[in-house]
Homo-oligomer: A and B are copies of this chain.
Amino acid sequence: MYTIGICDTTFSRVDMASAAVKILKKSLPSSRVVQYTVPGVKDLPVACLRLFDQGCDIVMAFGWVGKMPIDKVCGHEASTSIQQVQLITHKHILEVFVHEDEDKNEKKVKQIAVNRAEKHALNAVALLKGQTGLSLNAGKGIRQGKENVGSIK
């Protein structure tokens, strides 16, 4: 039985966690899911660390990055710190960040967010199962939130 941390924000404009949890529950029915909600992306790293303190095997961090230059800087700071949490704990954090300007159409951005959350939930499941669970797809141009682009022939 795995314990999976789900860390999300009130800043986000899409509830990505719910989309991911559905996949996790279906793929790993006996796993336990623990949620932690913070204001924004920069509050995610320490929350992820605290989730690992509670015994999580892996954490998914759902972040929403706004359109302004300062938002991009905040996203970068959060990502840098999420890297550090992984090196402190020796555990994976799947960073599921969506940038509000990935598409001009809001509904499209929501689709991207949900798709990315779902696909990364499957990645989390694969990583929990072992370090070669994704090896068959190495170099295959897999994408989350968008269509796969495939290998260069």
Binding site for B on A (CB under 8 A): 8-18, 35-39, 42-43, 45-47, 49-50, 53, 70, 72-74, 76-81, 83-88, 90-95, 99, 106-107, 109-110, 120, 123, 127, 131-135, 137-144, 149-152
- How many monomers of this protein are in the complex? 5
Q: Whole-angstrom distance from the CB of A54 to the nearest CB of chain B?
A: 9
Given A107-B152, A151-B14 in contact, is the A46-B132 Cβ separation under 8 Å? Answer: no
For A127, list chain B residues within 8 Å (CB). 38, 43
A13's partner among B46, B131, B152 (CB-CB below 8 A) is B152
Q: Is the CB of B84 within 8 A of A8?
A: no
Which of A15, A140, A152 gathers most chain B CB within 10 Å?
Answer: A152
